[in-house]
Amino acid sequence: MIDFSELGLPEDHLHFATDAHSADVCTFELPDGSKLQAKQELRTGAGLGTGAVQWQSGTALAQALLDSSDLERLVASKRVLELGCGCAALPATISAIKGAASVVATDVAKLIPLVLANLREYGQTPGLSDANKHALASTLEARPLDWTSEEEVRSLTADARGFDLVLCADCVDESEALLLALADVISASLAPSGVALVASGARSQRLMALFLTALRRVGLDTTELAPSLRPLPAAEAAERARHNDATRFFAVTWPDADGARAARAARAVGEIGSPRAVGEIGSPRAVGEIGSPRAVGEIGSPRAVGVPGTASALRRLDHAAVASAAAVGTQSATAASPVAADVISEEISDVISEEMAAMWGDESHIAALLAANGGRGYDVVVACDVIYKQVEEVLIALAATQQRLMLSPGGVCMLAYEFRGEFFDDVAYFDAANERFEVTPLSLGEYEGDLKDPSDEESRWLYTYTHK
């Protein structure tokens, strides 16, 4: 812990009190020539733990984000999360100024009022340009996130896209148990192609080594970076690890973005898809009720329902996801399809609660489906192989129905799609979906059944949609 008395300042008025900051004012020269100041008068509070003061690595990470032009692409238009932001949230603040689409600064709940007060103060720095004031006001928010609170972690990571950039400065010197929780939070929040930048202070080399191990255990890759945030050659990294006097930076990434995407989709289903909270659009009965005879024949036939796309989509997910996702298949669909039945065990079929009509775009059906789920949207909506030779209005109604049925915010729709030629017909759906949702595509590879067209390569996809 910091010895506040050494600093000769009243305890509720301390800032940069730690292993670095001797300066009274920490000034960031911003790209547009204006300045942002975090002063010693930065509001702090007693009894708020280590987050009550600004630490060296937070400032160093903020400065690195500001200086490194290589990092533009990591920040600009991205979704950014800072973990354990402390009272000053400097890396989050600089990310907002560097053009992030959204920035969430997080720490334990008791710190959040202080964080908010400081963020407001940054916005009032004399001479700060209007553009930067606007960037701070429009993109930056502060939210409570205790790494050990399942509920807070789940709520923050409910958006299946994850965060493109996760920032974490000086957070590894608390306790070993917390390191494991922090590694889990990074894994739960980091988007498949995202990067977490972790900065660690001089005091915490041993814990940092444990933390790197914890990150690898949850499947993440770690690379040590130079202060310019470029990768550090291995020999230099080893040398740095021997010194106890410098901030160290690490990039944390998923080794396999596609695998991470599948795992994320699986988690979205496995964690939030309680059987009752799942609805399927386009089960055979629903299709039978809404479609033209031809549409029923093509879409609702056993072959089309037991789609290879569905089965392999489910197979690509882990077992928990299969359990939940399979629960949305209607019994008639599974009975009709040996392929689907194959992935749906008996115990799972018990949880299928009911079948209901769902004419896409029909408000009374949508209202009944929502009412059946206690008046709220569904956590997961699944639609498999429902797009084929439909007219434009039907496809738009399908996208609109997905949007209405998905819990907002946080709902996910998974759509298994197989391209069967004549993409033109299907385009209306994708236009309507892209307008409404953020999409994460997962290639399921080529169709391998009897109807295989040798020219097809990536003809099957699992699209995971989340609200914009």
Ligand X SMILES: C[S@@+](CC[C@H](N)C(=O)[O-])C[C@H]1O[C@@H](n2cnc3c(N)ncnc32)[C@H](O)[C@@H]1O
Query: Residues in the site for ligand X, rule: CB under 6 A?
Result: 49-51, 54-55, 57-58, 84-86, 88, 107-108, 111, 145-148, 169-171, 174, 178
Q: Which is nearer to ligand X, 114 or 281 (CB)?
A: 114
Q: Which is nearer to ligand X, 57 or 334 (CB)?
A: 57
Task: Give strand pairing partners of 445.
Answer: 460
CB of 182 to ligand X, least distance (A): 8
Q: What is the DSSP string of 132-199?
A: HHHHHHHHEEEEE--TT-HHHHHHHT-STT-EEEEEEES-SSS-HHHHHHHHHHHHHHEEEEEEEEEE
Q: Which of 437, 442, 433 is nearest to 462 (CA)?
A: 442
* Residue type (1 letter), 287: V
CA distance 427 to 425: 6
CB of 24 to ligand X, least distance (A): 17
Task: Give strand pairing partners of 197.
Answer: 167, 251
Which 3 state secondary structure label does DSSP give 433?
Answer: helix
DSSP 45: -
* Residue type (1 letter), 51: G
| 284, two tokens | 């055979």
CB of 165 to ligand X, least distance (A): 15
How many helices and strands (H and E) does the chain possess? Answer: 21, 14
Q: Which is nearer to ligand X, 85 or 399 (CB)?
A: 85
The answer to whether 287 and 299 are in contact (CB under 8 A) is: yes
CB of 321 to ligand X, least distance (A): 28
Residues in the chain: 468
Query: Alpha helix (H) ranges present in 70-111?
Result: 72-75, 90-97
Q: Which is nearer to ligand X, 45 or 84 (CB)?
A: 84
CB of 250 to ligand X, least distance (A): 15
| Cα 265-271-273 angle, rounded to 5 deg | 85
CB of 86 to ligand X, least distance (A): 3
CB of 129 to ligand X, least distance (A): 25
CB of 58 to ligand X, least distance (A): 2
